[in-house]
Amino acid sequence: MPLSADPVWFVTGCSTGFGRALAERVIARGWRVIATARGAGRVADLISLAPARVLAVDLDVTDAAQVAAAVAAANERFGRIDVLVNNAGYGYQSSIEEGDEAEICAQFDANVFGLFAMTRAVLPGMRAQRGGAIVNVTSVAGLVGFPASGYYAASKHAVEGFSDSLAAEVAPLGISVTCIEPGPFRTDWAGRSLKQTASTIADYADTAAARMAQTSGYSGQQPGDPIRAAEAMIDAVVREHPPRHFVLGRFGIDAVTERLRARLNEIEAQRAASLATDFPDGEG
């Protein structure tokens, strides 16, 4: 179902990066936005762009009370939420073997369980109005695994699987679900939103350790433009039929299509063996 002509956007993680760019572009289009961050002061400047159309809210998506309060504040101010953009989250790199349990759990709390909580919180309103859009910012890593990104990729794969089931449940209610899968974009993700556990095991020097070193030195050189990405995301969401998946950037397109083609070829190569695991026709 198409969105209303004056949609209300709720965007998590607006202090920098994609969230900031997206909030600014939504405001520029004349729409209303709830801009959230851990500390409302970090997004308070957005209010000056359109005081009547912007609500800045303090939100840690891992805090259930803050999630409920933020959604209540949005509904009190604007009466509805048409688009939820689950953007809050961060990266964590380590080799699988050397991953830190506390870091792994904290990342899942933000990237996965916080996103789940936000989605549950907005669904009653979207169901009641029989329309809306849920946009989950995952990553190319949600479709392709890379060395040093096992736990980050696992969090994004979890969101992809969740989104598949969510889409099947809410499509009859007029609610769309889109996963945004960016490749490398020129944000401060690597400098601000990336945590690492150094790899000291020599056997991972050419895989996990090498990729962590590459990622750390890549900030500011990424090919993707977050402003262009924000515009493309908005255009995709407001279509009559928003895409279920939207990969951003040449790196992402190349990596994802190569991986999916290889996976399909592998599945097809095992077709006979796979079909042979069923009971023969007429038996059982």
R_g of the chain computed on alpha carbons? 20
In contact, 61 and 117? CB cutoff 8 Å: yes
Q: Residue 132: which of 142, 140, 124 has the closest Cα? A: 124
DSSP letters along 107-171, please? HHIIIIIHHHHHHHHHHHHHHHHT-EEEEEE--GGGTS--TTBHHHHHHHHHHHHHHHHHHHHHG
64-78 vs 114-129: helix crossing angle, rounded to 10 = 30
DSSP letters along 215-270, please? HHT-TT--SB-HHHHHHHHHHHHTSSS--SEEEESHHHHHHHHHHHHHHHHHHHHT
**CA 153, chain centre distance (Å):** 12
> Can you read off the two tokens belonging to residue 16?
């920098």
- 72: helix, strand or coil: helix
Task: Give me the sign of the Cα torsion angle 23, 112, 143, 204.
Answer: positive
Structure letter (DSSP) for residue 18: H
The active-site residue, picked from 151, 152, 204, 218, is: 152
Catalytic site includes residue 152: yes
Contacts of 166 (CB under 8 A, 6+ apart): 119, 134, 177
Q: Residue 148: which of 102, 194, 88, 89 has the closest Cα? A: 194
Amino acid at 143: L
Mind telling me the catalytic residues?
152
